[in-house]
């Protein structure tokens, strides 16, 4: 099975505590997910900030007309520093997403590191080449734009 890596870095002109408050609330995922994905949270164990062992269930459109159930578990949390979500069931064979936050001059550097693999061997690799990689790029670019709108740089 081929495991792919994706890294995204973004500067946010807010304190790390404010960034943490936003990203550690699973309900805010809706605000930074493209509308075309029809993202809907079905349930969150203990509706509060992320914590180790938390289970979050979603429905998401991976392709037009194809909605899948996606269940993730928060594996590890270090407040104001990082948290990790790991797919239990969903569209990927593996989805392991690390969210890191680092205080920097003037704000916060947010780093997403994702390791993922697709099911179905050669067909999964072909789907990755054909559209999955581009879709992941598009999702994170959408997030970049939305976060810039939600947290504008007041100095600019």
∠104-8-119 over CA atoms, to 5°? Answer: 150
Give whole-number Cα distances, 146 to 33, 40, 61, 67, in Å: 9, 18, 19, 23
The Cα 14–Cα 8 span in angstroms is 18
| 132 Cβ neighbours under 8 A, 6+ residues apart | 118
* pTM given for the model: 0.92
Which CATH architecture group holds 3-150?
2-Layer Sandwich (3.30)
The Cα 27–Cα 86 span in angstroms is 17
| 6 Cβ neighbours under 8 A, 6+ residues apart | 112, 113, 114, 116, 136, 140
Q: Where are the domains of the chain?
A: 3-150
Residue 26: predicted pLDDT: 92
| 41 Cβ neighbours under 8 A, 6+ residues apart | 26, 27, 29, 30, 56, 57, 58
Buried b (16+ CB within 10 A) or exposed e, 112-140: bbbebbbeeeeebbebbeeebeebbeebb
pLDDT, tens only, 94-149: 999 999 999 999 999 999 999 999 999 999 999 999 999 999 999 999 999 999 99
pLDDT, tens only, 41-84: 999 876 679 999 999 999 999 878 889 999 999 999 999 999 99
């Amino acid at each position: 099975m081929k495991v792919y890596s994706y890294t995204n870095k973004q500067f946010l002109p807010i304190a790390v505590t404010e960034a943490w408050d936003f990203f550690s609330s699973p309900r805010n995922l809706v605000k930074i997910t493209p509308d075309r994905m029809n993202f809907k949270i079905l349930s969150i164990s203990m509706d509060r900030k992320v914590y180790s062992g938390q289970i979050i269930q979603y429905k998401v459109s991976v392709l037009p007309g194809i909605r899948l159930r996606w269940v993730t578990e928060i594996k590890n949390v270090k407040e104001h520093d990082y948290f990790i979500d790991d797919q239990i069931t969903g569209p990927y064979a593996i989805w392991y997403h690390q969210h890191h936050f680092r205080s920097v001059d003037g704000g916060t550097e947010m780093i997403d590191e994702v390791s993922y693999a697709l099911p179905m061997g050669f067909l999964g690799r072909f789907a990755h080449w054909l559209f999955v990689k581009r879709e992941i790029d598009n999702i994170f670019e959408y997030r970049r734009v939305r976060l810039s709108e939600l947290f504008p740089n007041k100095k600019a």
